[in-house]
Structure 1
Amino acid sequence: MSLANHFELLGRDGDARTGLLTTAHGTVRTPAFMPVGTQGAMKGLQWQDVRDAGADIVLGNTYHLMLRPGAERIHELGGLQKFTRWGGPMLTDSGGFQVMSLAQLRKVKEQGVTFRSHIDGTAIELTPERAIEVQRLLGSDIAMQLDECVRLPAERGDIERAMQLSLRWAERSRRAFEGAPAANMLFGIVQGGDIPELRRTSACGLTGIGFHGYAIGGLAVGEPQATMLAMIEEAAPWLPMERPRYLMGVGTPHDLLEAVARGIDMFDCVMPTRNGRHGMAFTRFGQINLRNARHADDPRPLDEESSWPAARDYSRAYLHHLVRSGETLGAMLLSGINIAYYQSLMQAMRSAIAGGVFQEFRERTREGWARGDIASR
Structure 2
Amino acid sequence: MIGDFEIKDEDLAARIGVLETKHGKLETPSFFPVVNPLRNDISIKELNSIGFYNFITNAYILKKNNLLNGNIHNKFEENNIIMTDSGAYQILEYGEISQENKDIVSYQVEIKPDIGVFLDVPTGNTDDWNEAKKSVELTLERGREIIEVIRENQDIIWTHPIQGGPFLDLIEYSSKQASKIPEFKMLALGSPTVFMEKYRYSKLIEMIYTAKSNVSRGIPFHLFGGGVPHLIPFAVALGVDTFDSASYILFARDNRYLTRERTYRLEELDYFPCSCPVCSRYTPKELAEMKSGERSKLLAIHNLWKIREEMNAVKQAIREGRLFEYIQQKAYSHPALYNAFKSILKYSRYLEKYDPRVKGSVKGVLLFNSDSIDRPEILRHVEFMKVFVPKKRNALVICGDKLNSPFILDPKVKSILSKNRGTDVFVALPFYGLIPVSTSESFPMSQFEMPEEVDKLTLEKTVSFIQSFLKDKNYEEIKFIECEKSVLSHVMSINTALG
Question: TM-score of the superposition, structure 2-length normalised?
Answer: 0.63
Map of 2:282 onto structure 1: 314
Decide which of 77, 91, 105 is 2:83's aligned counterpart: 91
Kindly provide the CA deviation profile for residues 136-162 of structure 1, in whole angstroms up to 9, marking residues without a partner as x.
Answer: 222210011221112213311111111
User: Retained in 2: the 8 A contact 1:62–1:93?
Assistant: yes
Q: Say yes or no: does 1:74 pair with 2:39.
A: no
Offset at 1:362? 2.1
> 1:177: Cα distance to partner?
1.9
Q: Give the C-alpha shift of residue 4 in structure 1.
A: 6.0
Structure 2 match to 1:247 = 223
CA RMSD, aligned part only?
2.1
Q: Which moved more, 1:240-249 or 1:81-90?
A: 81-90
8 Å Cα contact 1:40/1:80 also seen in 2: no
Aligned to 1:126: 100
Correspondence for 2:319 among 347, 354, 359: 354
Which residue identity is paired with 2:63? M
Residue 189 of structure 1 is aligned with which of 140, 153, 161?
161
Query: Given that residues 226 and 244 in structure 2 are in contact (C-alpha distance below 8 angstroms), is that contact kept between their aligned partners in structure 1?
Result: yes
1:332 matched to 2:305? The reply is no
What does 1:252-263 align with in structure 2 at a 5 Å threshold? 252-263=228-239
Higher relative contact order, chain-length normalized (CA < 8 Å, sep 6+):
1
Rounded to whole Å, the distance in 2 between the matches of 1:159 and 1:98 is 17
> Distance in 2 between the 1:369 and 1:272 partners?
20
Please state if 1:54 is matched with 2:51: yes
Greater CA drift, 254-263 or 198-207: 254-263
| Contact 1:146–1:173 (CA under 8 A) maintained in structure 2 | no
Per mean C-alpha deviation after superposition, the further-off stretch among 326-335 and 346-355 is 326-335
SS in 1 for 2:188: strand
Partner of 1:111: none
1:1-377 aligned at under 5 Å gives the runs: 5-39=3-37, 43-70=40-67, 73-75=68-70, 79-85=71-77, 87-102=79-94, 106=96, 115=97, 124-127=98-101, 129-180=102-153, 182-210=154-182, 211-222=184-195, 224-284=200-260, 286-292=262-268, 295=269, 298=270, 300-303=271-274, 306=275, 308-322=276-290, 326-367=291-332
Per-residue CA distance 1:20-39 (angstroms, 9 max, x = gap) = 11212222221111100022
Q: Render the CA deviation track for 1:228-276: whole Å, top value 9, x for unaligned.
A: 2111111101111111000111232232222112110111111111111
Query: Take 1:369 and 1:283, find their aligned partners in 2: how far apart are those partners?
Result: 12
Percent of residue pairs identical: 23
The runs of at least 4 consecutive aligned structure 1 residues that moved more than 4 Å come to 366-370
Find the residue that maps to 2:145 and give its secondary structure: helix
Call closer, same or farther: CA 1:219–1:301 in 2, change over 3 Å: closer
Structure 1 residue 5 displacement after superposition: 3.8
Please say if residues 91 and 121 of structure 2, whose CA atoms lie closer than 8 Å, have aligned partners that are also in contact.
no
Residue 86 of structure 1: how far off its partner (Å): 5.9
Q: Deviations over 1:5-57 (max 9, x none)?
A: 4211111111112111121222222111110002265x522212211212131
Q: Quickly say closer, same or farther: Cα 1:195–1:368, change in 2 above 3 A.
A: closer
Aligned-partner SS, 2:264: strand
Separation of aligned partners in 2, 1:40 and 1:47:
14
What displacement does 1:202 show?
0.9
Change over 3 Å in CA distance of 1:86–1:5 after alignment to 2: closer
Instruction: Tell me the CA shift for residue 363 of structure 1.
Output: 2.8
Counterpart of 1:190 in structure 2: which amino acid? I
- Of stretches 220-229 and 153-162 in structure 1, the one that deviates more from structure 2 is 220-229
For residues 75-125 of structure 1, give each alpha carbon's deviation from its aligned partner in whole angstroms, at most 9, with x where no partner exists: 1xxx2222133640011112223134235xx3xxxxxxxx4xxxxxxxx34
Residues 61 and 314 of structure 1, relative CA distance in 2, 3 Å threshold = same
CA gap of 1:149–1:316, structure 2 versus 1, over 3 A, is same
- Distance in 1 (CA, whole Å) between partners of 2:260 and 2:208 is 25
Q: Quick check: 2:60–2:104 contact (8 Å CA) kept in 1?
A: no
Q: Which amino acid aligns with 2:103?
A: R
On the 8 A contact 2:45/2:77 being kept in 1, the answer is: no
Could you list the runs of 5+ residues in structure 2 that have no partner in the other structure?
336-499
SS in 2 for 1:221: helix
For 1:301 and 1:154, the matched residues in 2 are separated by 41
Relative to 1, partners in 2 of residues 1:97 and 1:286: Cα closer, same or farther, differing over 3 Å?
closer
Give the number of aligned pairs.
331
Contact 1:4 1:212 in 2 (8 A): no
Q: Show CA shifts across 1:290-347 (max 9, x none).
A: 134xx4xx4x4441xx3x311223222212322xxx3422111110000111011101
Change (3 A) 1:368 1:100: closer
Quote the offset at 1:356 in angstroms.
Answer: 0.6
Matches of 2:131 and 2:281, distance apart in 1: 51
- Native 8 Å contact 1:91 1:143 kept in 2: yes
Preserved contact between residue 207 and residue 239 of structure 1 (Cα < 8 Å):
yes
Alpha-carbon contact 1:174-1:186 (below 8 Å) kept: no
